[in-house]
Structure 1
Amino acid sequence: MRGSVILASAVLLIWTMVYVITQVMVTPALPVLPTVGIGVVLTIAVVLGYPSALRGPRGSRSLRGNRAGVRAGSVRDDVPGHGVGELAIRAIPLRSGLTQDAARRTCKLLRPMLSGDAVSITDTENILAYIGPGEDHHRPGGAMQTTAAPRAVRKGKTVVVRDKTGVGCRKSDCEVLSAVIAPLRIGTRVVGTLGVYQATTVIPPQQMVEDMAKMLSLHLELAELDREKQLAASARLDALRAQINPHFLFNILNTIASKARTRPEEARELLLRLSEFFRYAVRQEGHMAEFAQEYFFVRTYISLEQARFGDRLQVRYDIDPQVLTSRVPVLTIQPLVENAVKHGIGSKPEGGTVRLRARVDPLTRTTSIRVSDDGVGMDPEVMARLTTGDREPGEMSETVLTDPTPAVGEHAGVGLRNISERLDSLFGDRYDLSISTPKSGGTVVELKIPLR
């Protein structure tokens, strides 16, 4: 505020002087345009040359001030980019896990903030990163060179050392003389340390080092949760791929065998489609795929089922071309369609129609998928359990592709629950899966996921 007042006073003085000189002291007085031009030029020169409160200090002064603050061992809370609060809103490399690369980038980020000559991050045994004096022997990937860091791991508490003996470096001429070393935790488990070292006996600010270690520990916990969620999603997907319904395979092979003599070309075509079906289900990598791939997989499955059901199974597709390039979870649409075929149409003697509809909404950035049938519908008890989230004791959480002895309606509910769990691990609360039974009969399953 003070700098702004001084600058405003200077501008006012400039315009007063310009007026007096050009309109009072000069005869005849200068025209208005030259007078205004002179005033504007002088005003711009003063504003650009004055480090006001609005512009902040010059870059060179700021850098000099920062270096002075670091040398003095003081914490510059007034300098942007320094302190734990600033780090909280910046990207933390350790968010990806406790790796050498993430540790190195984190040390580079922390060194100017923690008022230390050197910063180190270790796991429970080895150095992951070290930046500052002593880099020649505190090497990433090697064993910890000090006795202080292993002590922090064993005790699970911050270790403060004020002399060279306390640091306990294996190299006698190491420049490090004091240090504050705080443990990094995931839950209650110590997974590493954050060490800030000084080449003088003045120790780094202990509270700041501890606060920073707590913040890094939080990011490590988040990384661990992400990893566990990915492992859970991978486990569900691997189980889905490995346990293709043997009854489906048995029925299709029977259909192919029955056509082998009378319609050999059709039997050969069915074998090719069956191989494509299994190849996609088993070899598709990752958790996401283009809708076009999943759509082709669904149509391959439908062609196999139509060979078995014949005219009893009718399918209608209503696919927005824009949705073909969007990405959807692998092996999610086909189980919804299989539910409709097996438990909707398969249990209806006269057969029926399955409809697949897909749309992209660019305004809400969502992909909407709707699978409906006009079959026998879902059992009310199963529907009630799905909508309330209850689960029967001992109920298996398997998908429609895996249950060898399904009860009509009940198994469909179990499959939908498994799909919901997979979506939850991938999207959190950013998806919607709804099930309804229209008065006209059948079942409608609608899925909305973020557009990717």
Structure 2
Amino acid sequence: MSATLPHLRRGLGRDSATRAAPHLRALVGAAGIAVCDPDRVLAFDGAGSDHHGPGDPLALFLHGRRPDRLHVEPRVACDVPGCPLGSAVVAPILVGDAPVGHLVAAWERGGRVSPEDTRVVGEAAALVGAQVALADLEEQGERLAEAELRALRAQISPHFVYNALAAIAAHIHSDPEEARELLTEFAEFTRYAFRSQRPYVTLADELTYVEKYLRLEQARFGARLGVRIEVAPEVLQAVVPVLSLQPLVENAVRHGVEGHGGSGHLEIVGRDLGVDAELRVRDDGPGMAEPDRALDRPAGRGIGLSNVQGRLRQAFGPGYGLVVQSAPGEGTTVVMTVPKFAPGVRAA
């Protein structure tokens, strides 16, 4: 059954059904097998495939019976002379209590369907249903992550765009070459932040655009903003959600530097923890009394902390995400922990 799982995790469609059908037929030991949606055959494999296939009506196997019940058909209703199929077991593929399709296992004429055959087909249909349900959940999770990313972009764009353009404008007359370079950095960063369709990037990519963001902020603050970046090369190929590190840095600038009289120091440190990677974004600003609450509210401490936390947990599970360390007068450190490798999470 494990051979069918990668195909069905993409949902129940013609392509996934076609790939899974041979494995399902081998699993149940039937002469032929059909994977169906609520109305028609999506894929057929085995005996009878010369005239049975995608598009055949489900009524060929149901004969007016309830679609949510497992049953045995004594004879497949096929009028093609010489069709080898005789009896069949028809099992609903359920997601929750709703039938989303059927698994039909057919035996050759003259063969008998045993109770064991019926049980195996029913269990195979239940496993297919479980995989389809997981595919639906993953699709919902992807849609939620996309919505959260759009919300994050809406949060960061007005503040960042205004300040970046102001910094560029301040250099137009005094240092036109610097202004041109800043405008290039601004264009590249906004293309990454607001137009990229990639859900995941390598940490190296995210850091590249974090550095562009900081270049623009240093143009605004000048020597009042000190920056140190020290990231172990072993973690640079870790994959993270796009715009996961940058909001932590922007948050540190807004609350650690702007909230500290317009000057301060910010550092980004990345460590190799073996199977995991740890990123620390630290500012020496005023700090806060209740750091744990920063992850539970969309406003207050900052841009997107709860948003980033949600996307990290969606991608990697509850064992990963953000931790905020802070105290009044002692600055703030946001620690992000991600796996260096996560199955199914790849940079585009």
Task: Please report the TM-score for the alignment, with normalisation by the length of structure 1.
Answer: 0.69
The answer to whether residue 35 in structure 2 is matched with residue 121 in structure 1 is yes
Query: How many residues in Structure 1 have an aligned counterpart in Structure 2?
Result: 337
User: Is the 8 Å Cα contact of residues 149 and 193 (structure 1) preserved in structure 2?
Assistant: no
Give 1:320's match in structure 2, choosing from 232, 237, 255: 232
Give 2:96's match in structure 1, choosing from 187, 197, 201: 187
Tell me the amino acid that sits aligned with residue 12 of structure 2: L
Counting only pairs closer than 5 Å after superposition, residues 201-240 of structure 1 correspond to structure 2 as 201=110, 202-203=112-113, 205-240=117-152
Q: Secondary structure at the match of 1:113?
A: helix
List alignment gaps of at least 5 residues for structure 1: 1-86, 392-396, 398-405
Rate the CA distance shift 1:298–1:216 in 2: closer, same or farther, 3 A. Answer: same
Q: Which structure shows the higher helix fraction?
A: 1
What corresponds to 1:385 in structure 2?
293
Write the distance in 1 (CA, Å) between the matches of 2:165 and 2:178: 13
1:63-83 Cα shifts (integer Å, max 9, x gaps): xxxxxxxxxxxxxxxxxxxxx
Q: Please state how far the C-alpha of 1:128 moved relative to its aligned partner.
A: 1.6
1:316-352 Cα shifts (integer Å, max 9, x gaps): 1122233333333211111000010001110111511
Q: Please state how far the C-alpha of 1:231 moved relative to its aligned partner.
A: 2.1
User: Is the 8 Å Cα contact of residues 4 and 24 (structure 2) preserved in structure 1?
Assistant: no
Write the distance in 2 (CA, Å) between the matches of 1:129 and 1:228: 26
Counting only pairs closer than 5 Å after superposition, residues 343-354 of structure 1 correspond to structure 2 as 343-349=255-261, 351-354=263-266
User: Is the 8 Å Cα contact of residues 90 and 104 (structure 2) preserved in structure 1?
Assistant: yes
Q: Which structure shows the higher strand fraction?
A: 2
Write the distance in 2 (CA, Å) between the matches of 1:138 and 1:286: 41
1:127-147 Cα shifts (integer Å, max 9, x gaps): 12111222122122x232643
Q: Which has the larger radius of gyration?
A: 1
Rate the CA distance shift 1:297–1:113 in 2: closer, same or farther, 3 A. Answer: closer
Tell me the amino acid that sits aligned with residue 144 of structure 2: A
Write the distance in 2 (CA, Å) between the matches of 1:431 and 1:384: 15
Give 2:56's match in structure 1, choosing from 130, 139, 143: 143
List alignment gaps of at least 5 residues for structure 2: 342-348
What corresponds to 1:298 in structure 2?
210
Rate the CA distance shift 1:91–1:117 in 2: closer, same or farther, 3 A. Answer: closer
Q: Please state how far the C-alpha of 1:239 moved relative to its aligned partner.
A: 3.6
Rate the CA distance shift 1:151–1:281 in 2: closer, same or farther, 3 A. Answer: farther
User: Is the 8 Å Cα contact of residues 138 and 144 (structure 1) preserved in structure 2?
Assistant: no
What corresponds to 1:371 in structure 2?
281
Q: Secondary structure at the match of 1:369?
A: strand
Tell me the amino acid that sits aligned with residue 314 of structure 2: S
Rate the CA distance shift 1:107–1:325 in 2: closer, same or farther, 3 A. Answer: closer
Counting only pairs closer than 5 Å after superposition, residues 71-86 of structure 1 correspond to structure 2 as none
Q: Please state how far the C-alpha of 1:300 moved relative to its aligned partner.
A: 0.7
User: Is the 8 Å Cα contact of residues 152 and 307 (structure 2) preserved in structure 1?
Assistant: no
Q: Please state how far the C-alpha of 1:91 moved relative to its aligned partner.
A: 5.3
Q: Secondary structure at the match of 2:236?
A: helix
Q: Secondary structure at the match of 1:310?
A: helix
**More deviation, 294-303/120-129:** 120-129
Rate the CA distance shift 1:350–1:197 in 2: closer, same or farther, 3 A. Answer: closer
Counting only pairs closer than 5 Å after superposition, residues 19-58 of structure 1 correspond to structure 2 as none
What corresponds to 2:15 in structure 1?
101
What corresponds to 2:346 in structure 1?
none
User: Is the 8 Å Cα contact of residues 276 and 339 (structure 2) preserved in structure 1?
Assistant: yes
Write the distance in 2 (CA, Å) between the matches of 1:249 and 1:203: 69
Write the distance in 1 (CA, Å) between the matches of 2:60 and 2:71: 10
What corresponds to 2:345 in structure 1?
none
How big is the alpha-carbon RMSD for the aligned residues of Structure 1 and Structure 2? 2.4
Rate the CA distance shift 1:146–1:135 in 2: closer, same or farther, 3 A. Answer: farther
Tell me the amino acid that sits aligned with residue 385 of structure 1: R
Q: Please state how far the C-alpha of 1:243 moved relative to its aligned partner.
A: 5.5
User: Is the 8 Å Cα contact of residues 145 and 170 (structure 1) preserved in structure 2?
Assistant: no
Task: Please report the TM-score for the alignment, with normalisation by the length of structure 2.
Answer: 0.88
1:208-234 Cα shifts (integer Å, max 9, x gaps): 211221122112212221222222222
Q: Secondary structure at the match of 2:26?
A: coil
